[in-house]
Amino acid sequence: MNEKRLLLILATVQFCHIIDFMIIMPLGKTIMNAFAISPGQFAWVVSAYALAAFTGNLVSTVVIDRFDRRTALLFLFTCFTVGTLACAFAPTYGFLLAARFGTGLFGGTLGALVLAIVGDVIPLQRRASAMGWVMTAFSAASVVGVPAGIWIAAEYSWQAPFYATAALAALFVTVAFFFVPHMRGHLVEETIVPDESLGEVSRDPEAQLLQPRSVGSKIAAPFRAIFSNANQRAALLFTLTLMLGHFTIIPFIAPYMQINVGFADKQVSLIYLIGGGLTVVLLPLFGRLADRYGRMRVFTIASFLALFSIYALTNLDTNSIPVALLVTSSFFVVASGRNVPATTMITSVVRPENRGGFMSIRQSVNEMALFFSSMVAGFIITEGPDGKLQHYELLGYFTIAMSIVAVYTASRIRAVA
């Protein structure tokens, strides 16, 4: 298997998925005006995607490890493309909510599958570096996709970025069809583990859960395998706290910079262009550092630095565009950088034959945290008499607290062979 080519294709899949998820946030002000909705209603537009992804990942947990990774990737990517196109046709706020839900149903699962494939193909000793490259899709989306989407929306309409994203996704679906190889190495029926102390062989109880006898057991088996394992439970708790310590402040970064700081519509693209450009360069570095000095050590240092960036961003009181860009860029770098060792640690807690199901559950927890954090932001952020957004700093304090808890939960994770 050509690892580099596969990682490049997986990065393009992530690129499309992340653009689709991110583009809604810098369009917040435009969409609120277009549909005459409140900040709380806009938070539901973001949350609908997360809620759907949560649901989709719960379903995929039961079935995703039973298919060739290539087949699952092509199916999910195609459905995601159709959902993105539907968003562009939304005539009402309700239709937009439904379209975002449909897109998230497949897009969230797609993200989990990409990480499962990396975990299957790349050995643990090189996995953080590979994760760094795949996760540069976030940076590339920030540098190219989101600024381009903002410019297209400003020049034409808010629907135009969704047309463009759907067209790009359709192109990459075609590329994936021709160049992604079949991946069936995880399709094992049962693992026999020698028990030398007894002089006989014993059946691995986790592997036995892969082939239960009844339909009900088939559905419950992946969940039992995951939640009966303390190490995997710790990884899921880590996922939850890390996301709450990261995403809670993100949906309102662009609206806050426009309404409170004074960014023009097109200037918002500078936030993603500069911050994303820095992470394109630095994310692979975070991966190499994690492989060399330890994933936990690099994650802890990056999380400590993130506390200062979160505080500065949510307490920003300036009319200076350069100062604001310095603050947002620092947040992009350290928040994205700590996700590289974090994701690598999470993929290391499960064996390949269970990795797809576990990553789906992990993604469900991730989306549940996205949904919860968006709702918290929607309830706390209000519009003041002067039209400015209020109480953003309260979200910052909550995010800082969750970031500290995430470091503790990370320390409880152990890699398995």
Domain final residue pick, 159, 185, 211: 185
Question: Quick one: 168 and 260 in the same domain?
Answer: no
Domain final residue pick, 158, 185, 212: 185
Q: Spell out where 173-329 has E strands.
A: 192-195, 200-203
Of the candidate ranges 136-145, 182-191, 277-286, the one whose mean pLDDT is the lowest:
182-191
- Mean pLDDT, all residues of the chain: 82
Q: What is the pLDDT of residue 234?
A: 92
Number of domain units in the chain: 2
Non-local (6+) Cβ contacts of 372 within 8 A are: 244
pLDDT tens profile 360-402: 788 778 778 877 887 788 788 888 888 788 889 999 999 999 9
Q: For residue 145, is pLDDT > 60?
A: yes
Cα separation, 271 vs 256, whole angstroms: 12
Q: Is the pTM of this model over 0.75?
A: no
The pLDDT-based confidence of 210 (bands split at 50, 70, 90) is very low
pLDDT tens profile 71-88: 999 999 999 999 999 999
Q: CA angle, 80 as apex, 9 and 114 as ends, to 5°?
A: 40
Non-local (6+) Cβ contacts of 140 within 8 A are: 11, 15, 276, 280
pLDDT tens profile 49-62: 878 888 887 787 77
Please report which helix (H) or strand (E) contains residue 262, including its range. none
Axis crossing angle, helix 230-244 with helix 321-347, rounded to the nearest 10: 170
The torsion region of residue 36 among left (phi > 0), alpha (psi -120 to 50) and beta comes to left
Q: For residue 191, is pLDDT > 60?
A: no
Count of C-beta atoms within a 10 Å radius of residue 204 = 15
Residue 199 lies in a domain: no
Cα separation, 304 vs 291, whole angstroms: 19
Cβ atoms of 404 and 242 within 8 Å: the answer is no
Question: Quick one: 161 and 252 in the same domain?
Answer: no
The enclosing domain of 90 has a CATH number of 1.20.1250.20
Which residues on neighbouring strands pair with residue 201, listed in sequence order?
Answer: 194
Question: Quick one: 277 and 348 in the same domain?
Answer: yes
Q: What is the pLDDT of residue 105?
A: 87
| Average confidence (pLDDT) over 262-289 | 83
Which CA distances in Å does 181 have to 9, 10, 68, 205? 11, 12, 10, 31
Domain final residue pick, 127, 157, 185: 185
Q: What is the pLDDT of residue 407?
A: 95
Its domain, for residue 309, covers 222-416
| Average confidence (pLDDT) over 253-280 | 84
Question: Quick one: 411 and 273 in the same domain?
Answer: yes
Q: What is the pLDDT of residue 417?
A: 64
